[in-house]
Amino acid sequence: MDYKPGPIDTLRLALTPEIAQLSEMLAKNVHENWAKLRIAEGWHYGPHRDDLQKEHPNLVPYEQLPESERQYDSQTAMESIKALLAMGYTIQPPAGTRISSEGTSPASGSGLTSVLQMLRDRSQPDLALLQGFWRAHDPEVWSVNPEPYRLLGERILKLGEPLVAYDVVAEGMKSFPQDLRLRQLLALALARSGAAGPANNVLALLYQDGYRDEETLGLLARTHKDLAREEGDAFKSSQHLRRAYEFYSEGYETSGGYWSAINAATLALFLGERESAAALARLVSDQCRQRLRELTETNGERYWLGFYLGRSRTSVRRLVGSRKLVLPGRGARTRRLGEPAIYPAQCSFVNAMPCPG
């Protein structure tokens, strides 16, 4: 059979955020209806498809489907919507915003403005929706402003998908190779994907370019800790930890940030620099107490200040009450403070507290 599919031409139709959002909603609904029919026919979940036993691996919530399956459903739904619009139909959402082949009505904005509005709406943290939005984006529209890439990259990273975030940020870097935030997000996506070396290279170039903000320094320090953990040579591992300590310390000196100081103090303990660790811990403790006295209401800042204060007090008690430090992780040993540091390759080094890394 010489069959040649001839779908309606929708290539010239603008891919707006409204279309992307609607297509993702319809894709989920298509899956729900398919699953409902299958279950009514006696099918149930199984790790592999088995027609005799009526088992199917896709009888799971839409959000748990493999990315390839969600993409197939989303693309099918999107093409159906675009076909309707290409034939001259319009879609009228409940809010009254009219979607047509010409785009959206002025009430909702269009083009880049509409994209930014959607990405700034934090009330919709759904990962599948953001991924569908990314698949539907128009690179030509996005290439005039780095903000869509920044916003989408940040949101996807927060939802725990560094590989997808890397794709977003890497495309943005093609148009805006010197954008500070995109370079930071690229490094963060690499680090969270387990590529500490490439992440460190990106951040080292930022440092060479003169960027000394707390986030760049903190990320750079974090990648050195990751490299220390991966390093099989004890001396080289110690060098990476030394660099991490220096960058955290510099971050605190330039910004006064609490988390930089606590991480620096923690690493000072590992490196045997008792006086530096004590001084940093006391500084943070004093700053946190002062700031807590200034705050008049309970909010997120008060919570983290209390957290930092607790960490700094713990560090001080360790330094005052003990002459020994226990290195964490399998294969760790006890050593006296001030003794040259020796770090087993399997020793674990973690952030003292939440930070941009």
CATH number assigned to the domain comprising residue 220 = 1.25.40
Is 141 a domain residue?
no
Answer left, alpha or beta for residue 45, where phi above 0 means left and psi between -120 and 50 means alpha.
Answer: beta
Question: What distance in Å separates the CA atoms of residue 188 and residue 223, rounded to the nearest whole number?
Answer: 9
C-alpha distance from residue 35 to each of 32, 65, 80 (Å):
5, 12, 20
Question: What is the predicted pLDDT for the residue at 325?
Answer: 37
Question: What distance in Å separates the CA atoms of residue 148 and residue 139, rounded to the nearest whole number?
Answer: 10
Is 326 a domain residue?
yes
Question: What is the predicted pLDDT for the residue at 269?
Answer: 80
Question: What is the predicted pLDDT for the residue at 343?
Answer: 37
Question: What is the predicted pLDDT for the residue at 168?
Answer: 94
Question: What distance in Å separates the CA atoms of residue 218 and residue 259, rounded to the nearest whole number?
Answer: 9
Q: Is the pTM of this model over 0.85?
A: no
Is 168 a domain residue?
no
- How many domains is the chain built from? 1
Question: What is the predicted pLDDT for the residue at 44?
Answer: 92
**Per-block average pLDDT, block size 10, for the chain (357 residues)?**
81 65 81 92 90 90 80 80 81 57 42 71 70 80 88 91 94 93 94 94 94 91 92 90 92 82 83 81 74 62 54 51 38 36 37 43
Is 8 a domain residue?
no
Is 166 a domain residue?
no
| Domain assignment of residue 330, given as a range | 214-357
Question: What distance in Å separates the CA atoms of residue 316 and residue 338, rounded to the nearest whole number?
Answer: 16
Is 97 a domain residue?
no
DSSP H helical ranges for 87-161: 111-120, 127-135, 139-142, 147-158
Question: What distance in Å separates the CA atoms of residue 93 and residue 67, rounded to the nearest whole number?
Answer: 27
Question: What is the predicted pLDDT for the residue at 95?
Answer: 54
How many contiguous H segments (helices) and E segments (strands) does the chain have?
Answer: 14, 6
Is 334 strand, coil or helix?
A: strand
Q: At what angle do helices 300-321 and 274-294 cross, to 10 degrees?
A: 150
Question: What distance in Å separates the CA atoms of residue 263 and residue 61, rounded to the nearest whole number?
Answer: 40
Is 23 a domain residue?
no
Is 86 a domain residue?
no
